[in-house]
Amino acid sequence: MKTEKKLSQKEQKALVGKAVIDRLFERGLIKSGMKIGLGTGSTAIIAVEHLASYIRDGKLSDVKAVATSFQTHITCEENGIPVYTLNSKEIAGKLDLSIDGADEIDPDNNLIKGGGAAHVQEKIVEYNTKRLVIIADESKLVPHLGTKFPLPVEIIPASRGPVVREMEKLGASCILRSCAGKDGPVVTDNGNQILDCTWQALPDGSSPVNPAKMEDRVNKITGVVENGFFTKNKPLVFIAHADGTVEER
Ligand code: 5RP
């Protein structure tokens, strides 16, 4: 529904985090008994909490979740959502649905993720799910990927020097991500480090990067665990706008 007042980014995240659960439930795309992957970040957590309210109210039962980070796991524990690993016999390596946020979304619904350093587990979960749903505020829509929000690349710490050299050969500049609550680099939920990699835009403002090709290429570098391009499981995307509407594409 359109609003007179312009919604802030935080308000848009709250709007889309709730709307996604309401709409998927109305359409029977979230059902009791489903195995659901739950994403990481401020938008995804709103959806997790709203999903929990459906379970508490008895509208959904026997939901089995796989969390993509410690943040999400803890939120599930606090809200009574049962969490399993992808390897458990209950999940058996395959999910019905996953819901997550994104850092950037291009017109073909290719994504950059990993702003919260959780893209390794997010990709494992989201490439093993039948239906991927991405939720975001309108600031995440971009014409192309790779030149503004840096591509997060999770690396084995001992490989940092060689990986930086290989990324530079691919035209990227890399910065080792620093931690806010600790001196030194971010240590991921998997015990690794993050390189944030950016390409310079072409003179016409477009990107020199083909996200699908670069996703594969970066993962060939020894020492890279996974990168934040998500191009292989095309999502349904829900975008909240400042005017209070939620667009689907
Ligand atoms: C975490 C992610 C997040 O989904 C992404 O950073 C978006 O976060 P937010 O919803 O807080 O803007 O990929 O690794």
Identify whether residues 119 and 163 lie together within a single domain. Answer: no
Do 222 and 243 lie in a common domain? no
What integer pLDDT is reported at residue 1 of this predicted model?
Answer: 77
Asked if residue 3 is part of any domain, the answer here is no
Minimum-distance ligand 1 atom for the alpha carbon of 43 = 10
d(CA 74, CA 183) in angstroms, rounded, equals 24
Residue 244 is assigned to a structural domain of this protein: yes
Could you tell me the CATH number of the domain that includes residue 191?
3.30.70.260
Using DSSP's 3-state secondary structure scheme, residue 48 falls into helix
Measure 185 CA to ligand 1 centroid, in angstroms: 19
Q: Is the pTM of this model over 0.95?
A: yes
Closest atom of ligand 1 to CA, residue 42:
11
- On whether both 156 and 107 belong to a single domain, the answer is no
Q: What are phi and psi of 96, to 5 degrees?
A: -80, -35
Options 122, 126, 154, 226, the catalytic residue = 122
Q: Which atom of ligand 1 is nearest to the CA of 135?
A: 10
Q: How far is CA 147 from CA 28, 143, 144, 210, 238, in A?
A: 38, 10, 8, 12, 23
Q: Is residue 2 part of a domain?
A: no
Mean pLDDT, consecutive 10-residue segments, the chain of 249 residues? 90 98 98 98 98 98 98 98 98 98 98 98 98 98 97 98 98 98 97 98 97 98 98 98 98
100 CB near ligand 1 (under 6 Å): yes
Q: Are residues 133 and 53 in the same domain?
A: yes
Q: Where are the alpha helices (DSSP H) in the chain?
A: 9-26, 42-56, 70-79, 119-126, 160-169, 211-219
Distance (Å) of CA 131 to CA 96, 99, 163, 186: 6, 9, 33, 31
- Residues 171, 63, single domain; the answer is no
Same domain, yes or no, for 177 and 240? no
Range of the domain at 42: 9-142+232-248
Count of domains for the chain: 2
Instruction: For Cα atoms 12, 119, 221, give the angle at the middle one, nearest 5 degrees.
Output: 140
Q: Do 192 and 130 share a structural domain?
A: no
Does residue 41 have its Cβ closer than 6 Å to ligand 1? yes
The CATH number linked to 62 is 3.40.50.1360
**78 catalytic per annotation:** no
**pLDDT at residue 133 in the model:** 99
pLDDT of residue 3: 82
Would you tell me the crossing angle of helices 9-26 and 42-56 to the nearest 10 degrees? 40
Position 239 scores a pLDDT of: 98
pLDDT of residue 43: 98
